[in-house]
Structure 1
């Protein structure tokens, strides 16, 4: 068709900016000749004919293939030099000393004399050299600008030109961190590094359950300087037997505790059987520096308290009876959370970071949960793993998700989180399909070990007052679902809610979620256990159908749907299909960048970290197809979008599945990328049924 002057103007501007044309020419794409019903049956998005792109020419395809071959050959010819750890460490030290890395203390104040380490500082103190190589400031205003406090990054901030003189940098640091909680203190981190952290509650619960995991076995009290507990013959035999059978194939929850009630109350007050030897110093005393009162440590008191607090309300005759283990693991009434019909944003690996959750909170999410954190890494004090537990003040109902393979590891982790963090619930991931997690015996591998599941849930729920929730898949192998046979037990073990992802571990994310099986599990669940469904929710119609089809479900968890269109919660709350414009979507990205700079920092490192996670998110948002371009609505999560033009240049750019176009969008928000920059999404997927991440 003939182009109008307006059309010609638009195309010219697009060419000038390097963007694809917003008004598509006529084409003979094969998808345009098919009916929408046929496309939907093949899981291809039925985009309106006038927006489809023409198929690429064969010459262009051949040229692209040739260029790709040349690049691969050139890359294969480059032999990378293998460097030793000492050499890599030396290079890192040299880079820190270079002008690229100005001392943070000097950057805050602009005064060379403020660094407490002086010449021993590992960073550069040359302000002039740093300013000479510093890239130009970014457009916009510093996210830390306030009336009373300056930016905590000072000269290193990429928005330094907008800074104002104000209060001290120390005030700015307090202001920066005031909106985020759950940070790991240096003192606690050092204790974790040295393996000297005390876990009195977790160890007493594990001991009462007879679950002796590998971490406890390595801490046997067998040295002369360690605690020696004197047990009679029968108790020692019971303890030895319990340790032998505490594996995946035998349930040790019914084993008798290693400490038993004495024959009478007077003996209990006079005996020293449960006290450490006076000549030997307890390891617990060394690690926790607890005071000894009346010959008993705090750990012993805690064990005795847990074992006798349920007996103290009865008569003296009841003291002689064997204590009920189930009462000892649940000595306190837990606070319950009502998830019914709340918008629950799933814990999303890599992309479900704090800035993304803040965006989703603005767009209507009710419940948020941090990314999955590995218990072993948390117990080692890894700062990068503890960063996954950070919580923003806007997250009014927030939980953390942990993943572990053994009851003692999980119990100690939940005790540590309960002490150091402010959370509303703790979720245990028993459905992660990632190989590195499954091979360690965690995640989906627990679905094949119900006794291990039982031990983990019981140990966690008995250690803390916080509600313990569990996330599972239908089973490990496709076609062999097993959660329906465990759903009643999960509630009796101590979990307050369970989220069921309607796929097996073997399926990963292929095929559609089996909601009929989720309904079956929901109907079998006891009334005290809340059941949440998860899988393929991408519109308010999906949400409505699942809630109405099975009233036993408390709510539905929203996962990948929120990655592709984070305004999904808004659509559910307002019960409409939002034909969102490219400008509105770009404003959401602006909010994300601002939240990212507040979270990761406004210096060079913080900007590039924000860019990295923005690109990870853009690798999902490109799958969204605007409502106004579809012949059939709503879009389904398994639809593959064909190549199409948007209604304007920005919408066309956002629809691109090329990493180069994602980088261009990031440059519109965060400036030019550094030299030699490249990006590949972590999930390594460009198809819905081939996602590799968990």
Structure 2
């Protein structure tokens, strides 16, 4: 007997259902909202704010700011209040002497330091409690916080640990010296090839950030381009004024001629001045027709060709699309990755946080940077700075024309650029000029308003006028968000329009990717065949199950076990420690972003629990239990459970540590989350 399910309810086998009541619905629009420097919305979605014109009182405005407004994350430090100087922590000498506000007393620091973390090995994982078998501790005779059983992955990879004495795996790289005290050690460094395979790229130093912040960083190409735009705008304005004056003169001449005709039988010949005015009036039409495109030639240099056909593409994802997550997805089959959306203005202000978004792990085979802005002055200059500092390690720069959140849209950036093709043209052409051989790609939505798709109008201009190297189109409008399924029929229309444009102009074919609702290899294949795209950009599907890339590559539904999922979490933690650092601050940054990742991954419904395949992204499950205790735990939407999972790998969370997920369904470390 076949059960009848309500639309949107996942078909879980009856023996696993605990309650017919569905789990709390997760608002994906809120999940990508803005809360701080790095949570502005990416492709994303959320943080709806009232219009400035909205007639609401102060309480209503506060209520409507969005699910993520005001998230705060504490920064925990160890050492029992002993703040060790960074230079001393790394085995050096502090040049500030007595004026340094940090401690130089290493013994005092070690005496109060939080104990080393014993990171588990893969063979310690199990599907039954306690899920991670504890390792035996071997505390140092001098300091209990230092454990000889600790293993520091950064030390193993490069031969030294950048956190030095502050490392939470300190026992892996200290020894007892001849005087009986502990000292830092370095191992024999691995071969250069092995070291290059581990060290991140695109680090930008303080002198560069300082020069950018002080507006002393040289940007000659952008300056020249923007000057030519300014001159063109002045010329256009002058031509428009002349055309307006000519039109007025023509109108006066016509009126005068009518007066003459009214009093004479034979009309006089058209005055030479009037003929000149008519000729000028024709010129006015030509000026209007050219307003969309600045008359600035592109530099005659060969761009890198992007051969993306058939490759898998991980979407740029704000907050959760950080380097450790991208690295995990690459290990599972992602071919193309793109950094989190970065604000052009913040790059130009020398923001250290913004410049961290361009870091690339060597395992990322094809890597791009995504920029968001609303003017050529910011986007073109930011593109040149990125090219100068990181050019050899960037494969493309993507222009964000898809971000729908009000915070971005109301500034004229993101999806607002879809309604400003003239401005967008100037932006993309200028970026292409300053980026040298690095191609510019563009990410679009179908349009701004529901029922008014406009992306197809841009398609013929993208290869011919804009000169883009690749196009990605998300099958939803800005207004739609995630309320309806992606429109793959319209994506097909855009593909055909783009292909026809390149054929008509005899231009090289450029890759076009689609996006929206891809959650299985069957769905991936169907959407590819239906639309004719060269590939599909994957966002939410990868957040919920990062192994989706493996499923696509191997063309199967992977009934991944709970232990295999726990191993992926272990790998994420290891990648996070390598990226954020192995001191207490780095450990809790890794903990925070792991909890962000788990706030999506708990939504995965194991293949073996479903009555039919493939699973659908928009289906929500009733309350269910897993096939073992770990699978049940991984299905929990309780943030306290996510923190417990983090503690299996990263040690006990500090008492003062606070975490609120993007969905804000519950929280950890606050009164709201303690009940």
- Name the SS for the 1:532 alignment partner: strand
| Partner SS for 2:90 | helix
TM-score, normalised by the number of residues in structure 1: 0.69
Instruction: Tell me the residue number matched to 1:538.
Output: 519
Give the superposition deviation at 1:117: 1.6
User: Once the 2 structures are TM-superposed, how far is the Cα of residue 463 of structure 1 from its aligned partner?
Assistant: 2.1
Q: Which residue of 2 aligns with 1:128?
A: 107
Q: Report the equivalent of 1:249.
A: none
Which residue does the alignment assign to 2:349?
380
Q: Deviations over 1:572-616 (max 9, x none)?
A: 111110000000001011111001000010000000000000000
Distance 2:240 2:154 in 1: 55
| Unmatched 5+ stretches in structure 1 | 1-33, 57-90, 214-236, 246-323, 687-694
Deviations 1:62-94 (A, max 9, x none): xxxxxxxxxxxxxxxxxxxxxxxxxxxxx99xx
Question: Which of 402, 424, 439 is the aligned partner of 2:395?
Answer: 424
In 1: Cα distance, 2:97 partner to 2:185 partner: 24
Query: 1:619 aligned to 2:599?
Result: yes
- Alpha-carbon distance between aligned partners in 2 of 1:147 and 1:630, rounded to the nearest angstrom: 41
Assess if the C-alpha contact under 8 Å between 1:96 and 1:124 holds in 2: no
Is contact 1:344-1:556 (8 Å) kept?
yes
Q: CA deviation at 1:677?
A: 2.8
Matches for 1:230-249 after TM superposition, within 5 Å: 238=235, 241=238
Secondary structure of residue in 2 paired with 1:617 = helix
How far has the Cα of 1:104 moved from its partner? 1.8
8 Å Cα contact 2:80/2:112 also seen in 1:
no
Cα deviation 1:377-421 (Å, max 9, x = unaligned): 001110000111100111121111011100121111111111101
Farther off after superposition, 534-543 or 675-684: 675-684
1:203 aligns with 2:223: yes
In 2, Cα distance between equivalents of 1:197 and 1:132: 45
Distance in 2 between the 1:148 and 1:367 partners? 26
Deviation for aligned residue 1:155? 1.9
Q: Would the aligned equivalents of 1:426 and 1:467 in 2 still touch at CA under 8 Å? A: yes
- Which runs of structure 2 are paired with 1:330-349 in the superposition (5 Å)? 330-349=299-318
Is 1:489 the counterpart of 2:458 in the alignment? no
- Quick one: distance in 2 between partners of 1:504 and 1:199? 36
CA shift in 2, pair 1:148/1:585, >3 Å: closer
Distance 1:337 1:448, change over 3 A: same
Does the residue aligned with 2:18 lie in a helix, a strand or coil? coil
Provide the residue aligned with 2:440 in structure 1.
468
| Cα 1:133/1:374, change in 2 over 3 Å | same
In 1: Cα distance, 2:188 partner to 2:354 partner: 26
CA RMSD of aligned residues (A): 3.0
C-alpha distance 177-497 of structure 1, shift in aligned 2 (>3 A): closer
Cα pair 2:173 2:185 within 8 Å, conserved: no
- Secondary structure, counterpart of 1:201 in structure 2: helix
Aligned to 1:555: 535
Q: Aligned ranges for residues 51-66 of structure 1 at < 5 Å? A: 51-54=16-19
Distance in 2 between the 1:154 and 1:185 partners? 20
**Is 1:48 the equivalent of 2:13?**
yes
1:155 maps onto 2:155 in alignment:
no
CA distance in 1, matches of 2:239, 2:103: 58
Instruction: Give the structure 2 partner of residue 276 of structure 1.
Output: none
TM-score (norm 2): 0.71
Secondary structure of the residue aligned to 2:342 is: strand
- The alpha-carbon deviation at position 436 of structure 1 amounts to 1.4
> Could you report, residue by residue, the CA deviation over 1:77-126 in whole angstroms, capped at 9, with x for unpaired residues?
xxxxxxxxxxxxxx99xx999834211222222x7xx2222212232223
Q: Which residue of 2 aligns with 1:456?
A: 427
Considering Cα pairs closer than 8 Å and 6+ residues apart, tell me whether 1 or 2 has the greater RCO: 2
Q: 1:101 aligns with which of 83, 89, 93?
A: 83
Residue 685 (structure 1) shift: 6.7
Pick which of 591-600 and 142-151 moved more. Answer: 142-151
Checking the alignment, whether the CA contact within 8 Å between 2:491 and 2:531 is kept in structure 1 is no
The question of whether the paired residues in 2 share the 8 Å contact of 1:399 and 1:424 is answered with: yes
How far apart in 1 are the matches of 2:634 and 2:82? 33
Contact kept? 1:97, 1:124, Cα under 8 Å: no
CA–CA distance in 2 between the matches of 1:207 and 1:568? 47
| Contact preservation (8 Å) 2:374, 2:411 | yes
Matched-pair contact (CA < 8 Å) for 2:313–2:335: yes
SS of match in other structure, 1:180: coil
TM superposition shift of 1:50: 0.8
Distance 1:519 1:676, change over 3 A: same
Q: What is the 5 A alignment of 1:436-447?
A: 436-447=407-418
Pair 1:130–1:244, CA change in 2 (3 A): farther
Q: 1: CA distance between counterparts of 2:197 and 2:524?
A: 36
Cα 1:189–1:396 shift into 2, 3 Å? same
Structure 2 segments unaligned to the other structure (5+ residues): 22-73, 120-150, 176-183, 243-292, 503-508, 667-675
Q: Among 639, 655, 679, which residue is 2:619 paired with?
A: 639
Given that 2:204 and 2:355 are in contact with CA atoms closer than 8 Å, whether structure 1 keeps it comes out as yes
Q: Does 1:593 align with 2:576?
A: no
Structure 2: distance between partners of 1:208 and 1:432: 29
Assess, with a 3 A threshold, how the Cα gap between structure 1 residues 563 and 685 changes in structure 2: closer, same or farther.
farther
For 2:238 and 2:102, the matched residues in 1 are separated by: 57
Could you list the per-position Cα deviations for residues 248-280 of structure 1 after superposition, in whole angstroms to 9, with x for gaps in the alignment? Answer: xxxxxxxxxxxxxxxxxxxxxxxxxxxxxxxxx
- CA distance, structure 1, for counterparts of residue 303 and residue 3 of structure 2: 52
